Amino acid sequence: MSAGASFDVVVVGSGAAGATAALRAAERGLSVVILEKSHKFGGTSATSGGVIWVPNHQLSANDDSREQAEAYLGALIRRPVRRERLAAYLDAAPRLAHWLKSLGVPLQVATWPDYYPDLPGARADRSLVCETFDGRLLGDHFLLMREQYSRFKVMNRYAIDLAEFFALSTQAPGWQWVFLKMAARYWADLGTRRLGRRDRRFTQGAALMGHLYWRIFARGVPLWLECALEELVVREGRVAGVVASRFGRRFEVEARRGVVLAAGGFEWNQALRERFLPLPGRIYHSSTPPHQNRGEALLAAEALGAATEHTDSLWWMPTMDLPITAASNFEEIHQAAFDVGRPGSVCVNRNGVRFANEAASYDEFGAAMVADQLANGANAPCWLVFDSRFRRRWTAGGLLPSILMPDWKVPRDWWDHYLFRAPTLAELAAKIGVPGEALERTVANMNEYARTGVDPEFGRGGNAYDRMFGDPAQQPNPCLGPIDRPPFYAVPIQVGDLGTKGGLAVDAAARVLDGEGRPISGLYAAGNCAASPFGDRYPGAGGTIGPAMTFAYLAVDDLAALAR
């Protein structure tokens, strides 16, 4: 890297949006550089599930259509959004998918129900995932891609794909064999073990980013790490570059055609959370990479008069924190996306009562936590309560099942601080500060619902998405099991997130708009630093990465058209 460097396109951020913009620019014959402020590349996307939501993708024999997707989004979205952006997304997302396939990116259709499967137009085949990637193909960049959290690894070592995740998390028949194959494959890879602990097998979000960056590096696109965005450069009425800094040294990078902001949202900026969110929460409950997404791109664009939209909501994700194994006074955030809806458990607020369908999508559950807290002040955190039967089989955030981590292996300083246990529900309620009678009544109701298979309060287990993460052996409802085998347990669940839904206002070509709705010449945004096209809603698995990649693709196409 050098001061005064010049490129056609400068991309700020190295996640799915930034990688797509860079790869598309290289394919369109534009010179491009990626600036990443961290010492690792891949962004939040590399640590995610790596799913891409693409309606009407036509990558398999199905009868999905643009009209069906429009019907679903029309029934789902409740607030005013930019309809031209929705239309652009529905038109361009299938083109994005086919372009990736044409480059050899191995996309597969996942049978993942849309998050609101009872709405008109909902389907179970709109989510795309990438096949496993051999990380060693990245050469010297292998160890520099951001590594996934322990939640996407078994025993914090073995990478897992979606099929392995479902086999292990539900303890499906043959799950022990699945685990043994993973362990054998890992330890037999002696060449990689000499480099370090990291599994060369990239799965989920790491697989997606591995496939993208393998192609990016093959085209000679430079990636500059430890390069933070400081400000945007304007010349002759257009954005003409950026001022970046590396280890305190500032320098300018010229963008002859334009700048694509793809630097994530603002969830790790407490001041911006306080400014925008009705329930700000704490930055430390976010499940995105710590201290990375701090809203620098949003602030730099606002300094030029850029407008923002939908900044009052996050991509919600229930989380819990546990000490790291090396030092108990440092904590790690764990997602509890599916744990809160497993049979044999219930979530209650601090009044000891339920407030939502626990098996709903993690975003819907988080939104319910926020609404309950704003309504009565008795949530955030709430409590996941379960019995020893649940404890033996399921995870609770970062707490492994007792078949793998029995109570005697739980560090002593966790008890009654991070994890609570008691021989009776009344004693458990006293420990966690919840009214005992209310908790006992709630659990009694859940036991009756488990017997009948019907949840008259919130309909838990009443749709295909709920049942996807239940226990098929639990009948008559795979999401409802009795909570009656002592001892009883509880863990606090926080209002966490996967990033921000709101951000810079952009148009159908991903051009950043000012307060009057006019494009700021030369400035584009995609990913979580731009406002979601869905407003405050989350249509299905990949509803973050799908628009991020699609609008990065559209941004570069607009730049290329202007270059011509």
pLDDT digits (tens, 9 = 90+) for 452-495: 999 999 999 999 999 998 999 999 999 999 999 999 999 999 99
Contact 2, 191 (CB under 8 A): no
Reply yes or no on whether the pLDDT at 148 is more than 90: no
Give me the mean pLDDT over the 496-500 stretch.
Answer: 96
CA gap 422, 490 in Å, rounded: 9
The full set of domain ranges for the chain reads: 1-143+205-313+501-564, 317-497
Query: What tens digit of pLDDT does each residue of 509-535 get?
Result: 999 999 999 999 999 999 999 999 999
Return the exposure string of 389-411: e unless at least 16 CB atoms fall within 10 Å of the residue's CB, then b.
Answer: bbbebbbbbbbbbbeeeeeeebe
Residue 176: predicted pLDDT: 87
Helix (H/G/I), strand (E/B), else coil: 188: helix
Residue 303, Cβ density class (10 Å: 0-12 exposed, 13-18 middle, ≥19 buried): exposed
The contacts found for 110-113 with CB under 8 angstroms, 24 or more apart, are 110/51, 110/162, 110/541, 112/51, 112/468, 112/540, 112/541, 113/463, 113/464, 113/465, 113/468, 113/540
Residue 404: predicted pLDDT: 85
Nearest to 525, CA basis, from 266, 286, 165, 191: 266
Beta bridge partners of 32: 9
Q: What are the backbone dihedrals phi and psi of residue 417, each rounded to the nearest 5 degrees, phi first?
A: -130, -50
Please give the sequence-ordered ranges of beta strands (E in DSSP) within 185-274, or none if there are none: 201-202, 223-224, 228-235, 238-246, 249-261
Contact 182, 152 (CB under 8 A): no
Cα-Cα-Cα-Cα dihedral sign, residues 361, 362, 363, 365 = positive
Give me the mean pLDDT over the 143-159 stretch.
Answer: 85
Reply yes or no on whether the pLDDT at 42 is more than 90: yes
Beta bridge partners of 383: 348, 492
Give me the mean pLDDT over the 249-271 stretch.
Answer: 97
Question: How many residues does the structure list for the chain?
Answer: 564
Residue 180, Cβ density class (10 Å: 0-12 exposed, 13-18 middle, ≥19 buried): exposed
CA gap 234, 366 in Å, rounded: 40
Reply yes or no on whether the pLDDT at 285 is more than 90: yes
Residue 3: predicted pLDDT: 60
Tokens coding 95: 């083109």
pLDDT range class, residue 154, cuts 50, 70, 90: confident
Give me the mean pLDDT over the 195-211 stretch.
Answer: 94
Nearest to 485, CA basis, from 354, 358, 348, 386: 386
CATH class belonging to 317-497: alpha beta
Beta bridge partners of 316: 497
H helix and E strand count, the chain: 16, 23
Residue 75, Cβ density class (10 Å: 0-12 exposed, 13-18 middle, ≥19 buried): middle
Residue 96: predicted pLDDT: 98
Reply yes or no on whether the pLDDT at 409 is more than 90: yes
Mean pLDDT, all residues of the chain: 95
Reply yes or no on whether the pLDDT at 151 is more than 80: no
Residue 330: predicted pLDDT: 85
Share of residues in the chain with pLDDT > 90 (%) = 87
Angle in degrees, 0-180, between the axes of helices 425-432 and 436-452, rounded to the nearest 10: 130
Reply yes or no on whether the pLDDT at 2 is more than 80: no
Is the peptide bond prior to 173 cis by the omega test (within 30 degrees of 0)?
no
Distances (CA, A) of 123 to 51, 85, 464: 15, 22, 10
Reply yes or no on whether the pLDDT at 1 is more than 70: no
pLDDT range class, residue 4, cuts 50, 70, 90: confident
Strands 5-12 and 249-261: parallel
Q: How many CB atoms lie within 10 A of CB 347?
A: 25
Contact 460, 480 (CB under 8 A): yes
Tokens coding 48: 């995610």
Reply yes or no on whether the pLDDT at 240 is more than 70: yes
Global pTM reads 0.95
Residue 43: predicted pLDDT: 96
CATH of domain 1-143+205-313+501-564: 3.50.50.60
Q: What are the backbone dihedrals phi and psi of residue 462, each rounded to the nearest 5 degrees, phi first?
A: -90, 0
Query: What tens digit of pLDDT does each residue of 79-124 get?
Result: 999 999 999 999 999 999 999 999 999 999 998 999 999 999 999 9
Share of residues in the chain with pLDDT > 70 (%) = 99
CA gap 7, 190 in Å, rounded: 41
